[in-house]
Chains A and B, each alone.
Chain A
């Protein structure tokens, strides 16, 4: 499915990967986090080869996958179950994570009582509560309606810029061109399968980014051209 994909992600950067459907973006993410093994080549994280989920890497899913019979708080706490922390500390940390995504007040709610956007926020809180160095996001907003997605993008960007978090880098996988230009420091464009890297774009625009500004449009145009060329 993929050929010759050589990629490096650096400290303190927000990297996005975009490509046509079926180019293997989800597989790539799972290889990075060690849930899948590449058939050729290898993945290294902080200098060590990845053969299983490393410490300090988290993933936000497209379909949040919350446990329906646990409350929002317990769903976040779920990520801390194997850390060997006392119960009280786990609760405190989970509450803090929920506060980060502005869901304090909803800690006793069950997923069925939350909207799509709120569920995804719980998913983000769950990913952040384990203090990851690297956060992976697999099309996290594509299951949401446009208004909610818009709002969440801004919020996520703010949260991730928070100096108090140990978080260094983010890799976002998406098929939404505007989204990746709005959020990323660097964009990798993949071709259709067997996929290879078509383009790597550095985006230097200041945050928050204005979609109407010329420079923004230049980047989106470039990506669209890449994707179009990649289709043929």
Chain B
């Protein structure tokens, strides 16, 4: 393919993909405002919504992709359906964490401000516009930056997945293009596509995410966060905004007229003590999945598959946790070193953020090529994907943890000439534990999602068949592999069982291991 047509193709692809991303982000922000504000202002809503979203956050959504796309296309056929399914999946990777951000921000609004609004009989809409949304802006901007990186993974994976299915393939998209290029074994074009992707990520950061973040700081309640940071792009946008304000006629919507019959502000709401807690909701979901799974197995008498399932879970579990230990061993020392080197920190951090935005799936073909000749090559490929999916979360959480250590600690350590081994063991590592645990929860969740791609890269009957040794996938078993086989074999029962098994395992471990660890660690090690 010649360069100019490749470039124009890539531009169209990137526009399509980014269009899906922005659509998902917009939907996520709107969702998060309504749900987050509701949860933060109504005790009853809070008791229901927060546990539910907490659980939704834990479920490896990508495992549902086949089911999702199948259902969505039933309702919205054709290209609309495929795009809707992809947007929906990206949405699920963004919405929950932004919602939690809004929830926390609104809860932190000083009570007196809300009381002033109530005293002056401000309507819900006015409170939303004047208080809730501005107050939530800083968190929304921050979470959006985070969600963008995560969303890219879901975008690319969903797009590549869709190409594997004959009926649901999307026409344009960067993930789609990568898949095609790999299929045609066009290494040069593939490399160019990756470069374009990186360029698009950088542009998004520069033109959108950063100005958004800086602008939103103006709404912070903390004085130190406001002011100082400048952005030339932001200044440019402001000028455009002012120009438009003067040139275009202002349209005033007379909401006040419509609100003449505004009902009286409500009294304090009753605390509902019978609403479920997070633990109850997750226990209920786990139980539901187990019951459904057992029912299906008994119904189909497919005990062989059930046995396969358990073995697969074992293998996947080993992979995820094995890589986790490797990642931790790398992320902790590296993170501590990076965070403490004041000179290189800013640049290193920016570079890391960009590199972290590149989803592992987009590099999959390259990785396969690297490992294909080696023994256990497929296994290494799978492990690399899992590694890439986890390492960034862990690295960033370590860095964040180190940044919370007050400078006085460093001064103490040098005054008393504490050796670095002891310093690490007694100060740095305990200090990073709270954020490291949080990061680990997210990382492991991401790893389980990555399994879908990592363990089976013979996607459908196209794409990566050519890349790996034909008809060979990951040598041994794996839950992702089972799920993928079920998807492209169209076996709904197996699909459901595989997803259920994964969900149950993730949630059980989450509740039993991580929640306890988190409470213990934050109690003991949090720096106030």
Give chain A's interface residues, CB within 8 Å of chain B.
30, 33-37, 51-53, 55, 57-59, 61, 63-65, 67-69, 78-82, 84, 112, 126, 130
**Which of B119, B219, B266, B268 contacts A57 (CB under 8 A)?**
B119
Q: A53 — which chain B residues lie within 8 A by C-beta?
A: 118-121, 265
CB closest residue in chain A, given B219: A69
Q: A112 — which chain B residues lie within 8 A by C-beta?
A: 223, 226
Verify if B113 is at the interface (C-beta below 8 Å from A). yes
Q: A79 — which chain B residues lie within 8 A by C-beta?
A: 116, 119-120
CB of A30, distance to nearest CB on chain B (Å): 8
Which of the four size classes fits the interface of chain B? 20 to 34
Do the beta carbons of B268 and A61 come within 8 Å of each other? no
Do the beta carbons of A33 and B226 come within 8 Å of each other? no
Do the beta carbons of A52 and B266 come within 8 Å of each other? yes
When chains A and B are docked, how far (Å) is the Cα of A82 from the Cα of B220?
A: 24
Give chain B's interface residues, CB within 8 Å of chain A.
110-113, 115-123, 126, 130-131, 134, 218-221, 223, 226, 256, 262, 264-268
Q: Knowing that A53-B120, A82-B126 are A-B contacts, what are 5 other residue pairs whose CB atoms are under 8 Å apart, sorted by A's residue number?
A: A52-B265, A61-B112, A65-B115, A78-B116, A130-B120
Do the beta carbons of B119 and A59 come within 8 Å of each other? yes
Do the beta carbons of A81 and B265 come within 8 Å of each other? no
Do the beta carbons of B110 and A65 come within 8 Å of each other? yes
Q: B266 — which chain A residues lie within 8 A by C-beta?
A: 52
Q: B268 — which chain A residues lie within 8 A by C-beta?
A: 35-37
When chains A and B are docked, how far (Å) is the Cα of A38 from the Cα of B430?
A: 47
Q: A69 — which chain B residues lie within 8 A by C-beta?
A: 134, 218-219, 226
**Which of A37, A63, A68, A81 contacts B130 (CB under 8 A)?**
A81
Do the beta carbons of B267 and A65 come within 8 Å of each other? no
Q: B123 — which chain A residues lie within 8 A by C-beta?
A: 82
Assess A67 versus B265: contact at CB under 8 Å? Given A78-B116, A112-B226.
Answer: no
- The A-B contact count (CB < 8 A) is 77
CB of B229, distance to nearest CB on chain A (Å): 15
Most buried by A among B112, B119, B130, B268: B119
Q: B119 — which chain A residues lie within 8 A by C-beta?
A: 33, 35, 53, 57-59, 79
Identify the 10 closest CB pairs spanning chains A and B, nearest first.
Answer: A65-B112, A79-B120, A61-B112, A53-B119, A65-B113, A84-B256, A52-B265, A82-B122, A82-B121, A69-B219
Do the beta carbons of A80 and B130 come within 8 Å of each other? no
Q: A67 — which chain B residues lie within 8 A by C-beta?
A: 113, 130-131, 134
When chains A and B are docked, how far (Å) is the Cα of A36 from the Cα of B226?
A: 34
When chains A and B are docked, how far (Å) is the Cα of A37 from the Cα of B126?
A: 24
CB of B227, distance to nearest CB on chain A (Å): 8
CB closest residue in chain B, given A33: B119
Do the beta carbons of A63 and B110 come within 8 Å of each other? yes
CB closest residue in chain A, given B266: A52
**Which of A34, A58, A63, A81 contacts B122 (CB under 8 A)?**
A81
Do the beta carbons of B115 and A61 come within 8 Å of each other? yes
CB of A131, distance to nearest CB on chain B (Å): 12
Do the beta carbons of B267 and A37 come within 8 Å of each other? yes
CB closest residue in chain A, given B123: A82
CB of B150, distance to nearest CB on chain A (Å): 29
Q: A84 — which chain B residues lie within 8 A by C-beta?
A: 256
When chains A and B are docked, how far (Å) is the Cα of A61 from the Cα of B119?
A: 12
**Which of B115, B256, B265 contacts A59 (CB under 8 A)?**
B115
Q: A34 — which chain B residues lie within 8 A by C-beta?
A: 267
In the assembled complex, 17 residue pairs joining A and B whose CB atoms fall closer than 8 Å, in A order, are: A33-B119, A35-B115, A35-B268, A36-B268, A52-B118, A52-B265, A57-B119, A61-B116, A63-B112, A68-B221, A68-B226, A69-B134, A69-B218, A78-B116, A82-B120, A82-B121, A82-B262
